[in-house]
Every structure is written in structure tokens, then in C-alpha cells.
Amino acid sequence: MSAGGGGAGEAAVGVQRSERSIRKGAGMALLLLVLLLVPRFANNYYLEVLSEAWLYVLLCLGLNIVVGFAGLLDLGYAAFFAVGAYTAGIVTIRLGQSFWLSLPIAVVTATLAGVIIGGPTLRLRSDYLAIVTLGFGEMVRITVRNLAITGGASGLVGIERPHLFGYALHSIGAFYYVFLLLAVLGIVASHRLENSRIGRAWKYVRSDEDAARAMGINHAAVKLAAYALGAIFAAIGGCFYATKMTAISPETFTFNQSLLILLGVVLGGRGKIPGVILGALVIVIFPELFRDVGSMRMLVFAVSLLLIMLFRPAGIWPERWR
């Protein structure tokens, strides 16, 4: 989505470039139009699966900020997803407030959670960092399983469906649009972040932290920003997940969930936004494609993941390192 940046001087190159970006823009618009029209043709099952896919696009893009851009391995990402989902549940059920209020609160709690996990781990690298984040993910899950306010092991049941301009978000068709919008916003935000000053700082820290510090990059602030922003993506996804399912329980936020999201990022190609989107689609849609295989479903899914990793070790659509 490079802006038509050709200057007046380099006329020929500029024309070529703008032509390409127009073609690209037209392709995007057409794709978006098709996606917007899907609910007119698809049945509830397809909408259900696609909504889940858009949710995972958002989650994977969030984790991609941490793992892909900043190069910090995170094995507890589901914790931030849980923070969002439980914030929505507590705000609507326990406090009796509107669902929309839970969004800003979730952003705040997720930022806090991101800083809490990011703070103590600033000096940790690779495997050590992975283990601490893994522990953090389990801590959050076990905490919500044992607190009264989060409903303990049964979780929270009966989360209200929100209203928007007097129109209740109730049908799966409406949720399809909500999750599609979230995914699009996630893509745009990821793009803007990647090409921003902080995005470049993340990549610098990823490539060589010591060199980055020597060049005057505040590595602590940069890393904390990555955790916090990644957490916000997951928390917003979690809010809408909670209201769509109307019931949440700690079982949804296990280590397997963190692993699945990480799988999407690595499978697609970490650091590369289109790759991550593809990865997210693969982890959601493949198991559904294999539903008719029956009991062998997960085996087929696993074999297909192995094949992808064998033939595309850097991911389906890897980042080109500059």
C-alpha cells in the first residue's frame, strides 16, 4: 500500500509506480467488496468460520508486533486475549455497564498487563524470555480460574450482546462485519506501525540490540511499546470474542491457544503482514476444511503444517530482510 510517492522529476518511474499502486489499490477494493458481500451468499457456517478467521487475523497481527517486528518470543499471548475477554465479561455482567465501555477499559488493562510482563523481562533474551512469558500466560489463566469475580472455573455466562445505533449485534452476519472491520483496522494499524519511527526502532532492536542502544534507541521504551500494543490488539479481539460467544471460561485461554496464535505468525512468515494474515487464515480454515475427514482431522491438519514448514521454512510468505 505504498502511497503514490513518485516525485515530479522522475516522471517515467513515477508513472510506472503510481500505475502499479492504482492497480494494487483497485485489487484491494475489489477484494474488500467481495468480502463485504459474503454474508449475502454464505450460510451461517461459513460466516462463523470466517468470523473466527478475522478474529485470528487480528490476534496474529498483534502477536506479530511482539514476535515479528520486535523479535521477542512470546509464549503467553493468550493471556492478553483473556484480559480483553474477561474485561468485557466483568464490565457487562458484574458492573452492569454497556459493552462499549469495556473497550477503553480493556485497552487500559491490556496496556498495564503488557507493561507488567514487559517490565521484568527487558533484560531477558530468547529461551529465557520464552519461559517467563509462558509462565505469565499460565498465571493469568489460573488466576481467572480461581477468582470469584471472573466466575472461577465455570467462567462468565450470559454476556450481553451490544447495541450500535439502536441495532443489536445479534446475528452471525453482524458479527462477521464486526470482525472483518477489526481485521482491516488491525492491518492498517500494523502497516502504519511498521513504517513508523517506532517500527524501525523495533526492527533495529531485533537485529542488534546493543547496536541499537549505542545509536540512542531507548530499548526499554521500545520493547514495552511492543508488548503494550500487541496486548491491545488481543484485548480488543477478546472483548468482541466474549460478546460473540456470550460465555467465556478459562479453558479458552490455555497454552494451546497461545501456541496456535504463534503458529499462525510463524507459519505465515513473521514480520510480514500479508504472510501473517495468510498464517491466521490457515490455522482457522484448515481444520474446518478437514472436518469431513472425521476422526483423522487433526492428524491431517498436523501433517499439512509439517509440509508447509518443510517446504517453506521461513513461512508461507516470509519477510525480506533489508
Q: Which residues here bind another protein, judged by CB under 8 A?
A: 43-49, 52, 145-146, 152-155, 157-158, 172, 245-247, 249-252, 286-295, 297-298, 300, 303-304, 307-308, 311-312
C-beta closer to another protein: residue 71 or 250 = 250
**In whole angstroms, how close is the CB of 119 to another protein at the nearest point?**
27
One-letter amino acid for residue 204 of the chain = Y
C-beta closer to another protein: residue 10 or 251 = 251
DSSP classification of residue 316: S
**In whole angstroms, how close is the CB of 316 to another protein at the nearest point?**
9
Which among 212, 251, 260, 255 has a CA at the least distance from the CA of 71? 212
Q: Provide CB contacts within 8 A for 112, sequence distance 6+.
A: none
Tell me phi and psi for residue 98, to 5 degrees: -70, 150
Helix 297-311 with 255-268: angle, nearest 10 deg: 40
**In whole angstroms, how close is the CB of 318 to another protein at the nearest point?**
13
C-beta closer to another protein: residue 58 or 198 = 58
One-letter amino acid for residue 210 of the chain = D
DSSP-assigned beta bridge partners for residue 156: 248
C-beta closer to another protein: residue 64 or 150 = 150
C-beta closer to another protein: residue 29 or 168 = 168
C-beta closer to another protein: residue 115 or 255 = 255
133 with 68: CB under 8 angstroms?
no
**In whole angstroms, how close is the CB of 168 to another protein at the nearest point?**
13
Distance between CA atoms of residues 78 and 113, nearest Å: 12
**In whole angstroms, how close is the CB of 47 to another protein at the nearest point?**
8
C-beta closer to another protein: residue 69 or 241 = 241
Q: Provide CB contacts within 8 A for 267, sequence distance 6+.
A: 279, 282, 283, 305, 308, 309, 315, 316
**In whole angstroms, how close is the CB of 155 to another protein at the nearest point?**
7
**In whole angstroms, how close is the CB of 170 to another protein at the nearest point?**
9
Q: Provide CB contacts within 8 A for 222, sequence distance 6+.
A: 70, 198, 201, 202, 205, 212
